[in-house]
Amino acid sequence: MVSERGLEVLRVIVHDYVASREPVGSRSIVERHQFGVSAATIRNDMALLEEEELITAPHTSSGRVPTDKGYRLFVNQLADLRPLTAAQRQAIETFLGDSADLDEVLTRTVRLLSQLTNQVALVQYPSFSRARVRHVELVSLGDRRVMTVLITDTGQVEQRVVDLPTPVDEAFLGELRSSVNGLVGGAALSDAAAALAELPARFRPDLAPVVGPVAASLVEQVASGRQERLVMAGAANLVRTEDDFSGSLFPVLEAIEEQVTLLRLFGEMQLDAVDVAASIGRENASFGLSQTSVLASGYTSSGSEVARLGVLGPMRMDYSTNMAAVRAVARYLSTLLAER
């Protein structure tokens, strides 16, 4: 059982080690923090923390550093998250508010989150199992080329360019556009593919070489909208903190390239009382990320279920600030998408 003072000693060890990357000794704790006890007493507290496997000595006769178990207890004991500054909040609103569509919103989100935290930022695309087709647009790019644009009620825009074997005029394109929207306008994405299968039957058989490729393109766009995927930014931040990892960074880089792995990890993380989840060190071992910490929060968009966003980095990170940034960005993203 760790005493209240022991928890406070652990807290300052975490803070000082995160700030300096130097092992923390009892003398520096007494000099830098107001405990009102001797260095010998702090050494006794540190010995108890070491017995509980909350801190460890990386070298003989050195100070101590937190273990993944220590970081876990530290995160569990966080009473408050360090609030973002007014400038940081304004940056979130300004940077994300200028986005044109969902793809740009999420791309900007990971860039911003990476800059705020200096970690790898990850955003899961919303699950569109309940999304509906708002409109399909067919845009002529020449007499034998058409762009198919699928717009959902969640703000997602999927587009493809289709090359056609024979020329089409604007009159036929208008007729085709009307038929497509009649079939799938307002339909759930889960039903849209089956509805599009009926499109060729609405036209003369000799038009099949034109109608077929357009229908196939839209089916692919519907399927793409339903797939789970991630947007990522800030992988270079891992290189900057390479000394926090023992051995090669390659296994970590390889793991984060596997989107299925990260999506599975996101899916298993449970949000806590402050709407942020943390998975630390050995808790990530089954995902090949045992030397990392992952922080995540949830956001929603109109017509979608909860999706996750978060950051990944070394265990030596500023948990309070990073958790506050993840939560703030998630909340603003939910608000922004709800207004679209």
Tokens of 45: 């507290």
Distance CA 203, CA 191 (A): 21
Residues 125 and 49: their CA atoms lie apart, in Å, by: 41
Question: pLDDT value at position 228?
Answer: 72
For the domain covering 4-66, report its CATH number: 1.10.10.10
Return phi, psi of residue 117, to 5°: -110, -15
Q: Do domains 4-66 and 133-226 have the same CATH topology?
A: no
pLDDT at 79: 66
Which residue's structure tokens are 């569109």? 128
Domain extents in the chain = 4-66, 86-127+228-338, 133-226
Query: What is the pTM assigned to this prediction?
Result: 0.75
Contacts of 12 (CB under 8 A, 6+ apart): 24, 29, 32, 33
Q: Distances from the Cα of 68 to the Cαs of 62, 64, 278, 285, 315, in angstroms? A: 19, 13, 12, 12, 7
User: What is the DSSP code string of 66-91?
Assistant: E-HHHHHHHHHT--SPPPPPHHHHHH
φ/ψ of residue 134, rounded to 5: -85, -45
Instruction: Kindly state the tokens that stand for 153.
Output: 């009620």
C-alpha count within 13 angstroms, C-beta hemisphere, residue 159? 14
pLDDT per residue of the chain (340 residues) written in tens, 0 to 9: 788 999 999 999 999 999 999 999 999 999 999 888 998 999 999 999 999 999 999 877 679 999 999 999 999 888 667 778 888 888 888 888 777 778 888 999 999 999 999 999 999 887 666 678 899 999 999 889 999 999 887 777 888 999 999 998 899 999 999 999 999 998 888 788 888 888 988 998 888 898 999 999 998 888 776 567 889 999 999 988 888 998 788 888 888 888 888 888 988 888 776 689 999 999 999 998 999 999 999 988 765 567 899 999 999 999 999 999 999 999 999 888 877 6
Handedness of CA 29, 32, 35, 40 (dihedral sign): positive
The confidence score (pLDDT) of residue 138 equals 93
Give the pLDDT of residue 74.
94
Domain 86-127+228-338 bears CATH identifier 3.30.1490.190: no
What is residue 225's predicted lDDT score, i.e. its pLDDT? Answer: 62
Which CATH number is associated with domain 133-226? Answer: 3.30.390.10
Point out which residues pair with 294 in neighbouring strands.
279, 312
CA angle centred on 239, ends 68 and 88, rounded to 5°: 80
Q: Give the closest residue to 13 by CA, choosing from 306, 316, 216.
A: 316
Q: Find where tokens 């900057």 sit.
A: 240
